[in-house]
């Protein structure tokens, strides 16, 4: 089926309403609802907060899916309700098979890249508003411990899979503004590496944080 498999397609498959799954981390099983699913990621909603950079396993019993995943971003969406983005890097063939089965049962429908871009833009606006409301500017104090973990995870992944690094870089370069491109090249780290990690992390971490974290990692 086109769009599924090891090509790390960005196609998203969304249900009419979130269906049940679990995220298991550090021996704790958290009930979640799947809002959308792709070969290399998922968006979930849940009542219990989950910190970014948390590693665990995403399980969907109805299609026998149980794969490792890492939390890329998480935010409060409503009172006592959170939404989080997961990155899936391994067992992509298993995820693809699960998506095909969900499609066969009519439980999900294929989304569009346009929808994904709108969702990403909405997320970025909400994150900017949240920073203004809280009066904090994360870039002033440098990346948090969770962000450093995510950046290092992304860098290690892309260093071991250079063909993926090229794809993520080109994907970022197509839609990045000139200011973002200049920011990515503002440090001593290769601009292409910064943009690739930024896109791999679904642009959930400020570019300046990525530059600083990669510079620190290279210097150490």
Exposed/middle/buried for 68, CB within 10 Å: 0-12, 13-18, 19+? middle
Instruction: Please tell me the predicted confidence (pLDDT) of residue 138.
Output: 45
pLDDT single digits (tens) 78-112 = 888 999 999 999 999 999 999 999 999 999 998 75
Q: Which domains does the chain have, with CATH numbers?
A: 13-112 (2.40.10.220), 137-219 (no CATH)
Say what the pTM is. 0.76
Residue 97 CA to residue 102 CA, distance in Å, equals 9
pLDDT tens string 149-183:
999 999 999 999 999 999 999 999 998 999 999 99
Question: 9 or 112: whose pLDDT is higher?
Answer: 112
């Amino acid at each position: 089926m086109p769009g599924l498999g090891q090509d790390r397609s960005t196609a998203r498959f969304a249900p009419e309403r979130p269906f049940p799954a679990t995220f298991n981390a550090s021996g704790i099983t958290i009930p979640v609802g799947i809002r959308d699913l792709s070969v290399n990621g998922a968006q979930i909603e849940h009542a219990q907060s989950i910190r970014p950079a948390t590693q665990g396993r995403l399980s969907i019993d109805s299609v026998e899916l149980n794969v490792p995943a890492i939390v890329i971003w998480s935010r409060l969406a409503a009172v006592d309700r959170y939404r989080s983005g997961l990155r899936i890097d391994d067992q992509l063939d298993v995820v693809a098979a699960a998506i095909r089965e969900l499609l066969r049962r009519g439980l999900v429908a294929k989304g569009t890249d346009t929808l994904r871009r709108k969702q990403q833009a909405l997320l970025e606006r909400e994150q900017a508003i949240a920073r203004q409301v809280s009066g904090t500017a994360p870039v002033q104090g440098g990346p948090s411990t969770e962000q450093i973990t995510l950046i290092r995870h992304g860098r290690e992944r892309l260093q071991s899979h250079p063909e993926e690094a090229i794809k993520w870089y080109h994907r970022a370069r197509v839609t990045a503004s000139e200011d973002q491109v200049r920011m990515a090249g503002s440090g001593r780290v290769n601009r292409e590496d910064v943009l690739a990690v930024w896109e791999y992390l679904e642009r959930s971490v400020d570019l300046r944080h990525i530059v600083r974290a990669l510079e620190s990692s290279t210097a150490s």
